[in-house]
Amino acid sequence: DVKVTQSSRYLVKRTGEKVFLECVQDMDHENMFWYRQDPGLGLRLIYFSYDVKMKEKGDIPEGYSVSREKKERFSLILESASTNQTSMYLCASSSGVATYGYTFGSGTRLTVV
Amino acid sequence: GENVEQHPSTLSVQEGDSAVIKCTYSDSASNYFPWYKQELGKRPQLIIDIRSNVGEKKDQRIAVTLNKTAKHFSLHITETQPEDSAVYFCAARDSGYSSASKIIFGSGTRLSIRP
């Protein structure tokens, strides 16, 4: 009963490549989020979206952009991948403006070489 | 914006003993505090949460306490078992202007249960 699906579990890309990470949720959630997870740093928010075509910067947006053309899909884009973007990327979704917890995807481990 | 600090970063306890993880937050207007458990190679999952209108919440062996005056909250696990070994994240909802429920996470605690 997977609710939040990330398209790739593992990804290896070269420096300078444009990288797309895809996330799809089937719970009709309004809010979607992209975090990166690094040891000792926890989960850091990159971008989030509370509606179709809406986006807001999180704490570490530099080097990233996002796209939300449909309610169920939220894409993270690395315009020109760099080695310091090697990380685990987690997508999450939540419902409305109420204080509900997130549902996370399984994550994409991206390695930039 | 909100800032969440979490301690300790690693914790090792004997099976059957209790474990306590502590967090502080900076935004006095924050009103929602979830805890997530992430087992090795798996996604973070919500295990318990507390809202600012209560001071304590329990769910079997897990409890969370909240002290709004001091701006800190804690996770307590009693009678620990091997399956409790995981990374635990505390979090707080940012009360900023955005209409989204943006949650800020602590840095995580790696809990190991010794047999």
Greater model confidence, B14 or B98: B14
Write out the H or E segment, with its range, that includes residue B113: strand B109-114
Looking at CA atoms only, how far is residue A30 from chain B in angstroms? 8
Residue A91 has what pLDDT?
97
Residue B50 has what pLDDT?
92
Mean pLDDT of chain B: 91
Q: How confident is the model at residue B103 (pLDDT cuts 50, 70, 90)?
A: confident
Strand, helix or coil for residue B84: helix
Contact A101 B49 (CB under 8 A): yes
Q: Is B31 left (phi over 0), alpha (psi -120 to 50) or beta?
A: alpha
Q: Which of chain B's residues have a Cβ under 8 Å away from the Cβ of A48?
A: 98, 100, 102
Residue A76 has what pLDDT?
98
C-alpha distances (whole Å) from B48 to each of A90, A100, A112, B82 are: 20, 11, 35, 19
Residues 4-63 of B with CB under 8 A from A: 6, 9, 31-32, 34, 36, 42-46, 49, 51
Q: Which of chain A's residues have a Cβ under 8 Å away from the Cβ of B103?
A: 101-102
Q: For A36-40, A60-64, A66-70, which range has the lowest pLDDT when averaged over its residues?
A: A36-40
Out of B9, B31, B100, whose CB is closest to A50?
B100
Residue B29 has what pLDDT?
84
Looking at CA atoms only, how far is residue A14 from chain B in angstroms? 24
Do B32 and B47 touch, CB atoms closer than 8 A? Answer: no
Residue B95 pLDDT > 80: no
Q: How confident is the model at residue B100 (pLDDT cuts 50, 70, 90)?
A: low
Average pLDDT over residues A20-24: 97
Looking at CA atoms only, how far is residue B101 from chain A in angstroms? 6
Average pLDDT over residues A39-56: 90
C-alpha distances (whole Å) from A85 to each of A13, A32, A79, A91, A113 are: 10, 20, 11, 16, 10
Task: Return contacts of A21-25, CB within 8 angstroms, 24+ apart.
Answer: A21/A75, A21/A76, A21/A77, A21/A78, A21/A89, A21/A91, A21/A108, A21/A110, A22/A73, A22/A75, A23/A73, A23/A74, A23/A75, A23/A76, A23/A91, A23/A93, A23/A105, A24/A72, A24/A73, A25/A72, A25/A74, A25/A91, A25/A93, A25/A103
Q: How confident is the model at residue A95 (pLDDT cuts 50, 70, 90)?
A: confident
Average pLDDT over residues B53-66: 94
Contact A99 B51 (CB under 8 A): yes
Out of B6, B32, B44, whose CB is closest to A99?
B32
Average pLDDT over residues A72-93: 97
Contact B107 A31 (CB under 8 A): no
Q: How confident is the model at residue B28 (pLDDT cuts 50, 70, 90)?
A: confident
